[in-house]
Structure 1
Amino acid sequence: MTISQTRNIGLPLMNLLKLKGFSILLQLQLEEQLLRTSSENWCILNDGTSDPTVVMGVSGKPAELLEIESVVLDQVPVIRRFTGGGTVLVDDGTIFVTFICSKDAIPGLQPYPRPIMSWSSLLYNKVFQGIGDFHLRENDYVFGERKFGGNAQSIIRSRWIHHTSFLWDYKVGNMSYLKLPKRAPEYRLSRGHLDFICRMKDYMTRSNFIERTVEATGFYFSVRSVDLEAIETPSNIKFCPSSRLLAKQELEAAARAL
């Protein structure tokens, strides 16, 4: 038993799944599976995803959010995920962190969006302690006035999920696939993408961020590492993921409707 394990005796169990370069579509489908079919707590850390991909919230409208002609021409995959939130371009410079918890996992935490968001900021305050001017701004994680982490949530009867895309790095050209959203946080002040976001790599290494995130999770949970191969859907539960790739025809139809 490690010192960390000894410290965490009596805390709720958290299964930690660490991935690297895992498909964001498969990750989202796995997250929904664990949200809906598991009764355990999960933390998923995925260090980058293989191909540049646009990920939209469940109610996102491609015509309002994307430069569709460029997306179609360059064959950029577009995913509609099962949670709410905004639109993001993810690639190998994105680090994904997801928490999937039962409603009673964290004592005193009310299972509503704002309390869950506030709890997450406490956890990440530990991660970024002494690094940059970190704080929660509306629903974003920022250093100063610049965003580096976008969040989305889903809350069901007995469980909730909070997942974050962290911009450790980004390619300037990829930002051109995204339109300025009609609904944006007030602190954005109509800034373009490149004036609004920043890179985490200017503040810390990837490995340091991941290590600190696991350590901070250990303040709230007893963390146990698990392998992807060990995750199974119970045989008595039918599950069909709702996160999916949008077909080229759907995007072209959205473009024609402009």
Structure 2
Amino acid sequence: MRYIYNQSTDPAFNLAAEEWLLGNDSNEIFMLWRNEPAVIVGRNQNTLAEIDESFTRKRGIPVIRRLSGGGAVFHDLGNINFTFIQNATPSGGLDFQKFTAPIQAALGHMGVECAFSGRNDLLIEGKKFSGNAQHFHGGRVLHHGTLLFSSKMADLSGALRVDPEKYRDKAVRSVRSRVTNISSHLPVPMEVPEFIERLMDYVSGSAAGEDMSLSREEADSIGSLANERYRTWEWNFGSSPAYNFEKRTRTPGGLLDVCMFVKKGHIQTVRLFGDYFGVRDINQLEGLIVGSKHRRSALEECLADVVLEEYIKDVNLPVFLDCLF
């Protein structure tokens, strides 16, 4: 087995690293890595239905789709991610306990007792500290999980705060759980670097001390994949399942009801209802929106030269855009 300590904290690079290693390295792999603050959504989720778009945009928090299913989570440097890549086929089914067992054993060795629970979680004293997911490709399985060690969860909790009534779709929804940090349960305090070292030493055994970095050539290829997929709107938002969006907003010009149908990230239909006033036909404004990406910057661009007050009195572009997310 190859053991990798990926010291990048760029979430797009790190998710690309998993995909690249899954498809290009024939070794069985165990990898540890961390992300700067980011929201990571599941493969089968509607990204906008999982996040507070305003919160993430204003704080510059990247939102990135991963290969595996499951729900949306937020990462920060107090969360350690682990990845196993092994030979396997979907016919064998999902086996989360096989890959979480070494983690449980390592934590037990550090004096922290934990238990596997439900479909894919690890718990300490009934509280979740690890969620896990899997993805099969080309006779290989990618298993990855989170390990909340000293995560500042409250700092990013607003990133996943969204009104569930706005989005009507068949996408997988996230489930919130009571969570805890591993550091709160350690008999002897330690910082993240020491925890990572001890975890890697335990899992890797005799391989501890070997070079565990990615090669320059691997890093270059992974960086290219990150740019081609994991940094793109098309992957992170545009590949969401089709959805209906409905939102009612009290604006300075009156009540505005927005009803949209979005497919492949592009607005297919839109209706703007409400008790607002305007001197121009609202159908003209709706027509300008149809075909745009359901993305704030794209809508801002297509409406940049429109005098919105002619359609909806006392409503400017920033206010109107807030109504569309």
| Band of TM-score, shorter chain | 0.7 to 0.9
Find the aligned partners of 1:127 and 1:40 in 2 and give their Cα distance: 22
Find the aligned partners of 1:93 and 1:44 in 2 and give their Cα distance: 17
Q: Mapping of 1:17-96 within 5 angstroms?
A: 17-46=4-33, 48-49=34-35, 51-96=36-81
Q: Alpha-carbon deviations, 1:21-60, whole Å to 9, x = none?
A: 53121011111011112211111111x33x3111111122
Partner of 1:125: 104
Q: Which runs of 5+ in 2 are unaligned?
A: 165-171, 238-292, 300-320
Partner of 1:173: 155
Find the aligned partners of 2:112 and 2:294 in 1 and give their Cα distance: 41
Establish whether residue 99 from structure 1 lines up as the match of residue 84 from structure 2: yes
Secondary structure in 2 aligned to 1:33? helix
**C-alpha distance 232-68 of structure 1, shift in aligned 2 (>3 A):** closer
Q: Mapping of 1:156-195 within 5 angstroms?
A: 156-171=137-152, 172-179=154-161, 183=173
Find the aligned partners of 2:207 and 2:157 in 1 and give their Cα distance: 38
**C-alpha distance 97-251 of structure 1, shift in aligned 2 (>3 A):** farther
**C-alpha distance 250-231 of structure 1, shift in aligned 2 (>3 A):** farther
TM-score w.r.t. the length of structure 2 is 0.59
- Runs of at least 4 residues of structure 1 off by over 4 A? 180-185, 221-224, 239-242, 247-251, 253-258
Matched residue type, 1:19: N
Report the RMSD for the aligned CA atoms in angstroms: 3.4
Is contact 1:79–1:244 with CA below 8 Å preserved after alignment? yes
| Higher relative contact order structure (alpha carbons within 8 Å, sequence separation ≥ 6) | 1
Deviation, structure 1 residue 210: 2.5
**C-alpha distance 243-83 of structure 1, shift in aligned 2 (>3 A):** farther
Deviation, structure 1 residue 64: 2.2
Q: 2:185 aligns with which of 203, 207, 212?
A: 203
May I ask how many residue pairs the two structures share in their alignment?
225
Secondary structure in 1 aligned to 2:108? coil
Find the aligned partners of 1:136 and 1:58 in 2 and give their Cα distance: 23
